[in-house]
Chains A and B, each alone.
Chain A
Amino acid sequence: MTTDASAPAAVSPDRALHRLFLTLFLRGRSSRGLRRNNMPRSVASKLLLTLLAYGCFGCFALAFVQRPVFEISIYLHGMTLLFCGMFIAASSGEILFNKEEADILLHRPVTPQALLRAKLTVLLQVSLWIAGAFNLAGMVAGVLSPNGNALYPLAHALSTVLEAVFCAGGVVLAYELCLRSFGREKLEGIMTTVQVLVAVGTVVAGQLVPRVIGRATFQRGSIGIHPWWFDLLPPAWFAGLDDAITGNGGIRAMTLAVIGVACTSLVAWLALGRMARHYETGMQLLGETTSAVPASQLASRRWLDALVHSPLLSWWLRNPVRRAAFVLVASYLVRDRDVKLRVYPGLAPLLVMPIAFMMPVSQHGADPFGGFGVAFCGAYMGMIPLFALSLLQYSQQWQAGDVFRAAPIPGPALLCAGARQAVTCFITIPLMVFFTAVVYFLRHTSAELPLLLPGLIALPAFTLAPHLGGKAIPFSKAGEEARSARRGLDLFGVILVSISLSLVAIWAWSMGWFHWFLLSEIAVVGVIYTLMRVSLTRAPWPSME
């Protein structure tokens, strides 16, 4: 080992921080003890595949080559905002406020502003990779558009960079405003709630807003006759910038472009300048250790305690192992930041899909799906506990799950049962009420509500599915494993089952055999459920290998 005397001088702290956060983002922040003997892996191939997928998805824009530049840009900016927003919302909490990072970096000679700058640059950089991949085909579509020209790629690249800055700055600003408004004592809880809401909101808006924009844009024609509220949407500002630079759209495009540039500048100035000192407050909060329990946590503890000891739940949770698992899962659903950020945004798409199916596509209210939307909504309810339970097996404290194996319990059945009960109480029943209300309000009638029943009847079997073979023991796997591609395949399989169930239900409904169908379904589900319960009760602890 020799020291290379010709090596360059010191790397600047700003560059070192940028390199650090980019590396951490690309490699992921591993859970302690998970990566035994792991070598550093190149993520280039994974990243390229992801960008390729975005690129392929972006090719849909080529279908709009006959549309005006503004409409192509609206589509591209709407989707870019969705992708970048989802990415930034999902990553920002972890990147901006990482608890362990305080012990590593806060005593080093770097300012919180330098940390914020480095993190924001990484968020922007990755957002731009995603945006670049997605918009590549769209740029070609813009050039080929009837009023497009060679300036379009340049204009669109500029507006996309501005959009990414707006998006990243907006998320950081939201955190800073929370810090300013709520103070450091309440920050941790508030921040988690904000992050969950931002992530859920982005997913929900991502599903619903394109439909709304689509209706407004593709049915009304050119930019001049869009409704007034259209100008309030950020994609319209950046599409206006594209239009203005390519010489289309006139005064309204110019106005939208000015709004876009002004809002982006304002957000960036506020996030990185005026409000940046509040980031320092948040970073210091991470270094604080206090034995005082926040009032909100005390309240949730008392509330949970009262609930568990209520007559109905005391009887339902009379088995002590079930009750312990119930309290554990319920506590994490209410308190644990990592679990909340995984479970609630993970369930958001499931909430939106049925609503999207029930929303009228045209402005005249015609529903091309008939009662299928309602039946699909019911079938989707079964997926909610299924996915919640699948997601609840992951935790940052997965190693603490050894306590279950050390206890004199023959298998995971009782623990899993407690977890199912908690999910039923805290997620499934509230969402059943929500879905029923949504169906009632969107369809303006209670006549179609029975179509929810097939899904409800199948719900107990769906709920048992993740635990088959003694799998999905609560909080027994590292959070990192939650990113497995297997979940996507599972989702696809369950959607197929839900669609099939809905199709059969709607066919029986239209043939007048719905009652018979329900009776048959109860019998079939009853048999399947019993077999699953027996199998689960006999399941041993899964291997620790």
Chain B
Amino acid sequence: MISVQQLTKRFGEQVAVDGITFEIPAGQIVGFLGPNGAGKSTTLKMLTGMLAPTSGTATICGHDLQSDTLEVKRHVGFVPESGAVFESLTGLEYLEMVAALYAIPEAAARARIEQFIAFFDLSFSTLTDKLLGAYSKGMRRKVVITSALLHNPPVVFFDEPLDGLDANAAVGFKALIQTLAREGKTIVYSSHILDVVERVCDRVLIIDKGRLLLDGKPETLVAESGAGTLERLFTQLTGGTELERRAEDFARTFRP
């Protein structure tokens, strides 16, 4: 479903993504992990057609990222970390605008939106009467997730999707993506919340400084490394050594 070969992105002298290669089949939930500045968001932006790669190739659902970008965009949904929306539109206006960009007929779009409203416990009047600028962060996130799934894409990229969601919505969302994967959708899930990734994902990719460090099933990787948890494995791999001791030392500097 997703095939990435030697994908590289440079910003001037800086190498943000350095020749990463992986394959993701249909129906898999893949956790995409890495510390800040590792190149996760840049990779996701390349795979969604937002950024042109410097070199390397990628195909999504058989469509080449560089030569068939529009077709790739039709087949992916993306929830960006920023959770940006046009705040001067109402939720319904925003979702209908997104539906139009995917050429979804108005009636079908409305029906799909109503399904999401029910799932996320949103009220229809909020969606029609309030500008998105007046929504809470969690409500705005729900609208962004809806807008990513509205066109029923076979591949969905989530960049920190739980940010702002309350506990109930987060539980519902995790169940949603597991069901979507069972229905055959490919999910790429980028997050810093490692215990969620460990529970939800079939497989994890860990990158640091633009390079792919590890690729495998979370339980296998944890067992093979002897780290005990994915969190410990992650900190070992990405240079976060002796974090607890350093934190204790630092906290002691605040003694009166």
Contact = CB atoms under 8 A, between A and B. Distances in A.
Contacts of B71: 109
A483 interface: no
B82 A35 contact: no
B78 A107 contact: yes
B133 A1 contact: no
Contact of A15 (B16, B52, B100, B133): B100
A4 interface: yes
Contacts of B42: 288-289
Nearest to B144: A104
Interface of A: 1, 3-5, 7-13, 15-17, 19-20, 23-24, 27-40, 100-111, 185, 284, 287-292
B146 to A, nearest CB: 13
Chain A CB within 10 Å — which of B11, B88, B111 has the most? B88
B223 interface: no
A287 B45 contact: yes
B105 A100 contact: no
Contacts of B12: 185, 290, 292
Contact of B131 (A30, A102, A110): A30
Interface string B63-94: 00000001101101010101011111110010
Contact of A106 (B49, B107, B109): B49
Contacts of A39: 129-131
A419 B97 CA distance: 43
B84 A9 contact: no
How many B residues are at the interface, by size bracket?
35 or more
A29 B131 CA distance: 11
Given A17-B101, A40-B129, A109-B70, 14 more contacts: A3-B110, A11-B96, A13-B103, A30-B87, A35-B131, A37-B134, A39-B129, A39-B130, A40-B90, A108-B73, A109-B74, A288-B42, A290-B11, A290-B16
Contacts of A40: 88-90, 93, 129, 131
Contact of B100 (A13, A35, A185, A288): A13
Contact of A28 (B48, B88, B129): B88
Given A110-B101, A185-B12, A290-B11, A29 B87 contact: yes
Nearest to A9: B105
A104 B85 contact: yes
A32 B133 contact: yes
B106 A7 contact: yes
Contacts of B106: 7-11
Contacts of B134: 35-38
Contact of A10 (B73, B78, B105): B105
Contacts of A289: 41-42
B13 interface: yes
A291 B14 contact: yes
A483 to B, nearest CB: 14
A111 B74 CA distance: 12
Contacts of B100: 10-13, 15-16
Contacts, number: 143
5 contacts: A11-B96, A20-B97, A24-B88, A34-B133, A39-B131
Contacts of A36: 134
A37 B101 contact: no
Interface string B33-65: 000010001100100111110000000000000
B133 A108 contact: no
A191 B12 CA distance: 19
Nearest to A105: B101
Nearest to A3: B111
Contacts of A17: 101
Chain A CB within 10 Å — which of B12, B42, B71 has the most? B12
B11 A288 contact: yes
B107 A5 contact: yes
A24 B93 CA distance: 11
B51 A288 contact: yes
The 6 nearest A-B residue pairs measured at CB: A16-B100, A35-B133, A27-B88, A30-B133, A107-B48, A290-B11
A349 B14 CA distance: 43
B22 interface: no
B114 interface: yes
B51 A284 contact: yes
A13 B111 CA distance: 19
Contact of B86 (A8, A15, A24): A24
A15 to B, nearest CB: 7
B86 A104 contact: yes
Interface in B101-160: 101-107, 109-111, 114, 124, 129-131, 133-134
A37 B134 CA distance: 5
B50 A3 contact: no
B50 A106 contact: yes
B98 interface: yes
B14 to A, nearest CB: 5
A19 B134 CA distance: 21
Nearest to B12: A185
Contacts of A35: 87, 131, 133-134
A467 B114 CA distance: 50
Given A30-B88, A287-B50, A103 B82 contact: yes
B72 to A, nearest CB: 9
Interface string B1-29: 00000000001111010000000000000
A104 B52 CA distance: 17
B49 A107 contact: yes
Contacts of A107: 45, 48-50, 73, 76, 78, 80
B97 to A, nearest CB: 5
A36 B130 CA distance: 9
Given A24-B86, A39-B130, A3 B114 contact: yes
A32 to B, nearest CB: 7
A111 B107 CA distance: 25
A102 B51 CA distance: 10
Contact of B84 (A33, A100, A290): A100
Contacts of A19: 97
Nearest to B13: A292
A4 B73 contact: no
Nearest to B140: A32
A16 B101 contact: yes
A23 B93 contact: yes
Contacts of A284: 50-52
A3 B107 CA distance: 6
B208 to A, nearest CB: 14
Nearest to B159: A103
